[in-house]
Structure 1
Amino acid sequence: MKVTMTVNGKSMSGEAEGRTLLSSFLREELGLTGTHVGCDTSQCGACTVHVDGRQVKACTMFAAEAEGTDVTTIEGMANADGSLNTIQQAFQDYHGLQCGFCTPGMVMAASSLLEQNPKPSETEIREHLHGNICRCTGYHNIVKAIMAASGQDVPAVAAE
């Protein structure tokens, strides 16, 4: 079947079987490989995108369910001139990444959080990231990056 959606501000279409996950459709049919697939079971959050402004794990949604929606992927997060947006820059500045595999999902989750809560506490950030797994950083620098992106002072983040 043909599936059409607006992705990162552009109308895009592709072919998908009824069982095709949104994560696979974005990567394989539309060529947007920034959405990573880590588990296909909704555990890791690497495939997090925004669908009609909601944070969604793309491995939990069929491509056909996204018909007619507005999808934002990590590729759509940069500024119009191609430079890193505030959250992406903070991840770079505060070394909120190591291998980078979880980074797209973390940035998308951070964006959603900051949209809902522009000045989250450390605890609120950690709670919001509960569905995103990072095996490299221990989350401390990710939390610092999100706090910096929110315009807050970045305290020494407690080890947990």
Structure 2
Amino acid sequence: MTAVLGVTRVTAVPEGSRSLLDRILLGLASVVMFLMMALTFVDVLGRYLVRSPVPGTFEMIQFLLPWLVFAVLPVITKDETHITVSVLDGVFSERVRRIQSLAIQVFSAAVIVLVCVALWRQGSVLSAGRYVSGYMAWPLAPMAYAMSTLCFLTLLAQLAKIRMAWRKR
């Protein structure tokens, strides 16, 4: 199903066609989003009803947010369900659009590699320095390593897209 929103295109993928890894990542994202919502709800209730917010809520949400973003990134990349601007699509021929798609896929993969490597290096620095969060004193390195690993899964999905785009050209 494709819905057109102005100059953007959003494509939905049927739930039955999802792989096990997709379902795990989307399940993780769902749990994380629920935890963020529940923490915020309980914190606000505590803050305004009994004047006692949940200690460390802001920091817990800071730890949960990267899980949400990086868990869905491989799925969004694989399914190409990210928002795209298609203002010039009608101007170009089919061949030019295929080449454009391949170029975008290669550029995206290069950026993902840079992010993946930067996150892994950041994890190494955080690990060597034994950095921890300010309030909860949670170690920061595992989060950087987890984000890098999920970014690597995104890279694998992106490489599969490049392979498909190369075959279509």
Same fold, TM-score > 0.5, yes or no: no
Q: TM-score, normalised by structure 1?
A: 0.27
Q: Which structure shows the higher strand fraction?
A: 1
- Greater length-normalized contact order (CA 8 Å, ≥ 6 residues apart): 2
Q: Which has the higher helix share?
A: 2
Q: TM-score, normalised by structure 2?
A: 0.26
